[in-house]
Amino acid sequence: MNTQKTMEDIVAFAKRKGFVFQGSEIYGGAAGLYDFGPHGVELLNNIKASWWKTNVHDKQQYYGLDSAMFKDPRVWEASGHVGGFSDPLAECRTCNTRIRVDKELERIGVHADEKMSEGDINALFTQHKASISCPKCGGHDFTDARAFNLLVKSNLGDFTSKGDNPVYLPGEACQGIYLNYKNVVDSMHPSIPFGIAQIGKAFRNEISPRNFLFRTREFEQADTQYFVRPHENKDAYETIKKDRWQWYLSLGIDESHLRWKQHENLVFYASDAWDIEYDFPTYGFDEVEGIHDRTDYDLTQHTKYSGTDLSYNDNGEKFIPWILETSMGLGRVFLAVLSEAYDVDELGGEARTVLRLPGHVAPVKVAVFPLVKNKPELVEKARGVYSELKKHISTVAWDDNGNVGKRYRRQDEIGTPYCVTIDYDTLESDTVTVRDRDTGEQIRMPIAELASYIAENIK
């Protein structure tokens, strides 16, 4: 038996099993903000570690970075966020709910995106208004679309020495990479082409945050920026696209649940842009990562606004490098991994919920059970196995509550690949049973081989 997955099931499961909680829940909940619980933060950190390994440690000529969130406000003028990028919004005249016009048009099959001019989007909106319903009251009477800036304002002392200028929370994490491109060149002396990778927070005043972790107001992005010589972008772009696709497969995502989507309306400076989309339960295919060929736009803009020359000097030949960007939303990838792994099947004649996570991202790698908890010699032996495993494996759980079958079910639900039971035979032979999450099969093995067996199988 395999039930149909719905996002409703996954949202409820994520809360029940300590993966994701609504932000500020005890105060009634904050729209578009989520907190990662004890199992969620382990899964999230494991996804980040896998991304970092693939994009920094396993690569040559890629450098890691962690830049400050607050930046000189001029950064967001140079990037185009202050004057430019904004969402086309309209308000329902009946209940004042605001909608994103580009998204609503897309939903009814009319091609539109946030990069179109206000005039163009309003022309389309007027033509199709009758087919768009207000998500709250169902009405069709909307104002015209207006551009709404997404940057979240803050303040920070006398940042610009002009006193009351706002600073902004980062609208996208990648700007920290452009700001440090020169520092990396001057300190690490990379020969071109080379990359810089960073995981960082981003904040957007999304007017209609929705779909759980999919569209939130605070989120994390994992970005790489690959610096190439002008016009030497095409081959590298194809290689990067292939690499990124493979990484999703390494997270246990079935290839049939992924697809490419090329942008039809490119921003004026971009030469190509593709999204990787995942087939989310209930929501369907939508973007998890963008791969953008950004030409020399970013470094040219920051050269202009900062007055600092950001050209690369290759043995006397100076040029502004072109940039190939990969930008992934960690919340969306987390949701894709959770959705993919979530399953309800039947084992030993009983229905069970199981998270079929690959071992390297599972929040708990192995759980240790004494067969019963009222036999001190069994508990002591199991404690010894638990402590020894903890020296070698990142996350080891202890469970002595209820019968072993129930303990297996609890671990299956959070995706623990292995459960180890210490029984009476252990006291005689120093062997334990190791039970596999996916098959339910058990093997007996010497305690001495346990840590290496598990480490090998969760790689």
Residues that bind ligand GAP (CB under 6 A): 172, 174, 204, 206, 215-216, 219, 221, 287-290, 327-329, 331-332
SS3 assignment, position 365: coil
Nearer to ligand GAP, 222 or 378 (CB): 222
| CA 354-358-360 angle, 5° bins | 130
The CA–CA distances, whole Å, from 452 to 45, 52, 234, 434 equal 23, 24, 43, 13
Least CB distance from residue 336 to ligand GAP, whole Å? 10
CB of 216 to ligand GAP, least distance (A): 4
User: Measured from the CB of residue 237, what is the shortest distance to ligand GAP in angstroms?
Assistant: 15
- Output 198 or 421, the one with its CB closest to ligand GAP: 198
**Closer residue to ligand GAP in complex, CB, 94/211:** 211
Is 268 exposed, middle or buried (CB count within 10 Å of its CB: 0-12, 13-18, 19+)? exposed
Nearest to 46 by CA among 417, 441, 387: 417
Spatial CB neighbours of 72, under 8 Å, sequence gap ≥ 6: 159, 160
Minimum distance of ligand GAP from residue 103's CB (angstroms): 12
Q: Which is nearer to ligand GAP, 293 or 399 (CB)?
A: 293
Judged by beta carbon, residue 167 or residue 328, the one nearer ligand GAP is: 328
- Measured from each CB, the residue nearest to ligand GAP is 329
- Least Å distance, CB 359 to ligand GAP, is 25
Contact 105, 88 (CB under 8 A): no
**Measured on CA atoms in the order 339, 345, 347, 349, is the torsion positive or negative?**
positive
Q: Which residue, 207 or 455, has its beta carbon nearer to ligand GAP? A: 207
Closer residue to ligand GAP, CB minimum distance, 282 or 394: 282
The least CB distance from residue 379 to ligand GAP, in Å, is 45
Spatial distance between the Cα atoms of 430 and 427, rounded to a whole number of angstroms: 6
Give the amino acid at 403: N
Q: Give the shortest CB-273-to-ligand GAP separation in angstroms.
A: 9
Is the Cβ of residue 194 or residue 212 nearer to ligand GAP in the bound state? 212
DSSP labels, 237-286: HHHHHHHHHHHHHHTT--GGGEEEEE-SS--TT-SEEEEEEEEETTTEEE
Q: In which region does residue 454 sit, left (phi positive, over 0), alpha (psi from -120 to 50) or beta (all else)?
A: alpha
- In the complex, least distance from residue 244 CB atom to ligand GAP, rounded to whole angstroms: 11
- Decide: 307 and 181 in contact? Cβ < 8 Å: no
Token pair, residue 429, equals 């032979």
